[in-house]
Amino acid sequence: MEASDHRHVTHENKGANEQRNENKAYVPMGDAKYTAQQVLEMEANKEGKYDEDGFFVLPNGDFIDPYGYYFDEEGYDNFGGYYDDDGYYVPGEEYHDEYYEKLRDWLHLQSMCTQPFNG
Protein backbone atom coordinates (compact mmCIF):
# COMPACT_ATOMS: atom_id res chain seq x y z
CA MET A 1 0.00 0.00 0.00
CA GLU A 2 1.33 3.42 -0.94
CA ALA A 3 1.53 6.03 1.79
CA SER A 4 -1.30 8.11 0.33
CA ASP A 5 -3.72 5.19 -0.20
CA HIS A 6 -5.27 5.66 3.24
CA ARG A 7 -7.20 8.71 2.09
CA HIS A 8 -8.61 7.40 -1.18
CA VAL A 9 -11.96 5.67 -1.20
CA THR A 10 -12.65 3.63 -4.29
CA HIS A 11 -16.23 2.47 -4.56
CA GLU A 12 -18.25 2.01 -7.68
CA ASN A 13 -21.47 4.03 -7.65
CA LYS A 14 -20.14 6.50 -5.05
CA GLY A 15 -20.26 9.41 -7.48
CA ALA A 16 -17.59 11.74 -8.68
CA ASN A 17 -16.63 15.32 -8.13
CA GLU A 18 -18.65 17.33 -10.65
CA GLN A 19 -16.83 20.59 -10.08
CA ARG A 20 -13.25 20.10 -11.22
CA ASN A 21 -11.97 23.51 -12.22
CA GLU A 22 -8.53 23.77 -13.82
CA ASN A 23 -7.45 20.69 -11.87
CA LYS A 24 -8.03 22.39 -8.51
CA ALA A 25 -9.34 20.06 -5.86
CA TYR A 26 -12.20 21.45 -3.82
CA VAL A 27 -12.08 20.91 -0.10
CA PRO A 28 -14.62 19.94 2.52
CA MET A 29 -16.78 22.75 3.85
CA GLY A 30 -17.98 23.18 7.39
CA ASP A 31 -16.25 23.81 10.65
CA ALA A 32 -12.68 22.53 10.56
CA LYS A 33 -12.19 20.26 13.53
CA TYR A 34 -8.49 20.91 14.04
CA THR A 35 -6.33 24.01 13.74
CA ALA A 36 -2.82 23.84 12.30
CA GLN A 37 -1.48 24.46 15.81
CA GLN A 38 -3.44 21.53 17.23
CA VAL A 39 -2.10 19.20 14.54
CA LEU A 40 1.46 20.40 15.14
CA GLU A 41 1.02 19.66 18.84
CA MET A 42 -0.28 16.19 17.98
CA GLU A 43 2.80 15.63 15.83
CA ALA A 44 5.09 16.81 18.64
CA ASN A 45 3.38 14.30 20.95
CA LYS A 46 3.92 11.57 18.33
CA GLU A 47 0.17 11.02 17.90
CA GLY A 48 0.57 10.61 14.15
CA LYS A 49 2.69 11.74 11.23
CA TYR A 50 2.39 13.71 8.01
CA ASP A 51 2.39 11.91 4.68
CA GLU A 52 4.00 13.31 1.53
CA ASP A 53 0.83 15.23 0.60
CA GLY A 54 0.35 17.02 3.91
CA PHE A 55 -2.29 14.73 5.41
CA PHE A 56 -1.78 13.99 9.11
CA VAL A 57 -2.25 10.25 9.55
CA LEU A 58 -3.27 8.96 12.98
CA PRO A 59 -2.30 5.51 14.34
CA ASN A 60 -5.61 3.83 13.43
CA GLY A 61 -5.50 5.04 9.81
CA ASP A 62 -7.93 7.91 10.31
CA PHE A 63 -6.50 11.25 9.25
CA ILE A 64 -6.76 15.02 9.17
CA ASP A 65 -6.54 16.63 5.75
CA PRO A 66 -4.37 19.71 5.11
CA TYR A 67 -7.39 21.95 5.80
CA GLY A 68 -8.01 20.53 9.28
CA TYR A 69 -10.94 18.27 8.45
CA TYR A 70 -11.13 14.86 10.10
CA PHE A 71 -11.68 11.65 8.09
CA ASP A 72 -12.31 8.25 9.66
CA GLU A 73 -10.20 5.14 9.06
CA GLU A 74 -12.30 4.28 6.01
CA GLY A 75 -11.59 7.70 4.48
CA TYR A 76 -14.90 9.51 5.08
CA ASP A 77 -15.63 12.84 6.76
CA ASN A 78 -18.70 13.65 8.89
CA PHE A 79 -20.74 14.34 5.74
CA GLY A 80 -19.82 11.10 3.95
CA GLY A 81 -17.37 12.93 1.71
CA TYR A 82 -14.03 11.51 0.68
CA TYR A 83 -11.00 12.12 -1.53
CA ASP A 84 -11.17 10.21 -4.82
CA ASP A 85 -8.28 8.40 -6.50
CA ASP A 86 -7.17 11.63 -8.18
CA GLY A 87 -7.07 13.56 -4.89
CA TYR A 88 -10.31 15.48 -5.42
CA TYR A 89 -12.81 15.88 -2.60
CA VAL A 90 -16.20 14.32 -3.34
CA PRO A 91 -19.04 15.41 -1.03
CA GLY A 92 -21.30 12.77 0.50
CA GLU A 93 -24.61 12.06 -1.21
CA GLU A 94 -26.76 13.74 1.46
CA TYR A 95 -24.51 16.82 1.51
CA HIS A 96 -24.03 16.99 -2.27
CA ASP A 97 -26.52 19.76 -3.14
CA GLU A 98 -25.64 21.91 -0.14
CA TYR A 99 -21.92 21.55 -0.88
CA TYR A 100 -22.21 22.72 -4.48
CA GLU A 101 -24.59 25.54 -3.53
CA LYS A 102 -22.04 26.83 -1.00
CA LEU A 103 -19.28 26.36 -3.54
CA ARG A 104 -21.15 28.39 -6.18
CA ASP A 105 -21.76 31.16 -3.62
CA TRP A 106 -18.09 31.15 -2.62
CA LEU A 107 -16.89 31.26 -6.24
CA HIS A 108 -19.31 34.12 -6.97
CA LEU A 109 -18.02 36.05 -3.96
CA GLN A 110 -14.42 35.46 -5.09
CA SER A 111 -15.21 36.80 -8.55
CA MET A 112 -16.87 39.90 -7.03
CA CYS A 113 -13.78 40.56 -4.90
CA THR A 114 -11.46 40.45 -7.91
CA GLN A 115 -13.41 42.86 -10.13
CA PRO A 116 -12.24 46.48 -10.29
CA PHE A 117 -14.17 49.07 -8.32
CA ASN A 118 -16.13 51.43 -10.57
CA GLY A 119 -17.35 53.81 -7.94
Q: For the chain, how many structural domains are there in total?
A: 1
User: Which helix (DSSP H) or strand (DSSP E) does residue 59 occupy?
Assistant: none
Strands of the sheet with 63-64, listed across from one edge: 49-50, 56-57, 63-64, 70-71
Output the pLDDT for position 21.
46
Output the pLDDT for position 112.
78
SS3 label, residue 100: helix
Q: What is the mean pLDDT of residues 89-102?
A: 76
How many whole angstroms separate alpha carbon 101 and alpha carbon 20?
Answer: 15
How many whole angstroms separate alpha carbon 14 and alpha carbon 60?
Answer: 24
Output the pLDDT for position 45.
93
For residue 85, tell me if it sits in a domain: yes
- Sign of torsion, CA 103 109 113 117? positive
26 or 78, which is more confident? 78
How many whole angstroms separate alpha carbon 65 and alpha carbon 78?
Answer: 13
Output the pLDDT for position 28.
73
For residue 105, what are the domain limits? Answer: 3-114
Contact yes or no for 73/62 (Cβ under 8 A): yes
87: pLDDT strictly greater than 50: yes
For residue 28, tell me if it sits in a domain: yes
For residue 95, tell me if it sits in a domain: yes
For residue 119, tell me if it sits in a domain: no
Q: What is the pLDDT of residues 10-58, one digit of tens each?
A: 444 444 444 444 544 566 766 668 988 999 999 999 999 999 888 999 9
For residue 57, tell me if it sits in a domain: yes
pLDDT tier at 2, thresholds 50, 70, 90 = very low
For residue 13, tell me if it sits in a domain: yes
Amino acid sitting at position 82: Y
- Cα-based distances in Å from 33 to 22, 39, 55, 77, 110: 28, 10, 14, 11, 24
Output the pLDDT for position 101.
78
